[in-house]
Structure 1
Amino acid sequence: MTSAVAPLDASATVVAVGDVHGCATRLMLALLPHFHTGAELMFLGDLFDRSPEPEGDARVIELVRSLQAEPAAYGLSAVTVLRGNHEQMLLDALDEQLPGEALKLWVRNGGNQNFLATARDHRDWLEALPFTAIRGSYLFVHAGVRPGVPLDQQLEKDLLWIRSPFLECEHGLPYTVVHGHTFCSDFAVTRLPHRIGIDTGAFLSGRLTALPLTV
């Protein structure tokens, strides 16, 4: 399991961005208020798949990589991108020598085969995406954590895929976990003492959450 830990000033702001799923136009609108604020952007994974607009996946990766390469040009302190289960399914599909089960799984989950050529150009970047990041008292991760398991013993499949029992139980870690992966039927942000869920179903609802947190 890889993670990103950075020391931050007490007044630092991290803007957590929920599952984008190829919503390129919605992503730019959600980010505009946070440009030139000195904040760090924290993408929680699932940048791609199920895109509701033409070339959405390609436009998202172009924007996100531009932001990460030159955050100061946008008035940001940093841009961190975490791995989601859709990035993992895409990588698994790219790893196949011939189209097989991994490709079928990715396509069944909204993968667009027209995006594969672009994804290959970004493969090294995708493979380097961390699974977690810690900022202050917040642990950022795509899906969640398995309750009762120390952070350094969490399985990558849980960090990418878990729902139950994470959604129902306190996890026991000394952090508030900020996650995506699961949206509610009302597409609202979930705020509990031990977790904040910010997947608001952008590809269905048109609502992409970019949540500023003081860390």
Structure 2
Amino acid sequence: MPAERVVAIGDVHGCATLLEQELQPHLHSGAELIILGDLFDRAPEPGGDLRVLERVRQLQQEPGRHGLAGVTVLRGNHEQMLLDLLEAERGGDRARAAAARGLWRSNGGDPGFLPAAREHRRWLEALPHTAIRGRHLFVHAGVRPWVRLERQNPDDLLWIRRPFLEAPEHGLPYTVVHGHTFRPDFRITRLPHRIGIDTGAYCSGRLTALPLTP
């Protein structure tokens, strides 16, 4: 049975303490958690990346134990950068691996997190790009306006900014709930066609967990 309430969680970026604070009001509520990607990188606290990853996986594996209907985790661009690095390493292409490692590290990747990340590779590979709950479409970055959902480019779902953020509408029959881009004032964006909930946790100290009725 679908959950009567969904709680969307914005970009965590290794903020393990903030994540735990935001989780507490929703545990044992019967809600479904939908985490919009970017679990790690740029962590402001030691070991934050691994703590976040392990906590999220624990909740996802045993949602009932925590009074949740389920836990859905979407793929963000930081998960994709890490996956690209892990794939390059497995392929044995040193030049490609070096380039992927450079991109990941320049975006806040912590080399100390890599051994643990390798152990979670299959889970990361299985992360979906989107989730639909009633009238809401959940995605990390956004959508390409006026492109049907089944024809969206995965790169846009992970990376898009201006074409989506500046469009007055996107042409899909959903309110898009997304992360990826935070405002200078670190506030939630609420518009008829989209809700942006990345509030810059790693630099603002504000992580958003937004309850929604599907």
- TM-score interval (norm. to shorter): over 0.9
- 2: CA distance between counterparts of 1:107 and 1:88? 13
Instruction: Report the identity percentage.
Output: 69
1:120 corresponds in structure 2 to 118
* Aligned-pair CA distance for 1:8: 2.4
RMSD: 0.8
Matches within 5 A, 1:1-215: 8=2, 12-96=4-88, 97=92, 98=94, 99-169=97-167, 170-215=169-214
- 2: CA distance between counterparts of 1:103 and 1:149? 32
1:98-154 alpha-carbon deviations (Å, 9 max, x no partner):
341111000000000100000000000000000000000000000000001000000
2:147 is matched by which residue type in structure 1? V
Which runs of at least 4 in structure 1 moved beyond 3 Å after TM superposition? none
- 1: CA distance between counterparts of 2:22 and 2:2? 23
- 2: CA distance between counterparts of 1:102 and 1:179? 25
Partner SS, residue 21 of structure 1: coil
* Aligned-pair CA distance for 1:31: 0.6
2:113 is matched by which residue type in structure 1? F
* Aligned-pair CA distance for 1:168: 1.0
Report how many residues are paired.
Answer: 207
Higher helix share: 2
2:38 is matched by which residue type in structure 1? D
Structure 1 unmatched runs, 5+: 1-6
Structure 2 unmatched runs, 5+: none
1:101 is matched by which residue type in structure 2? A
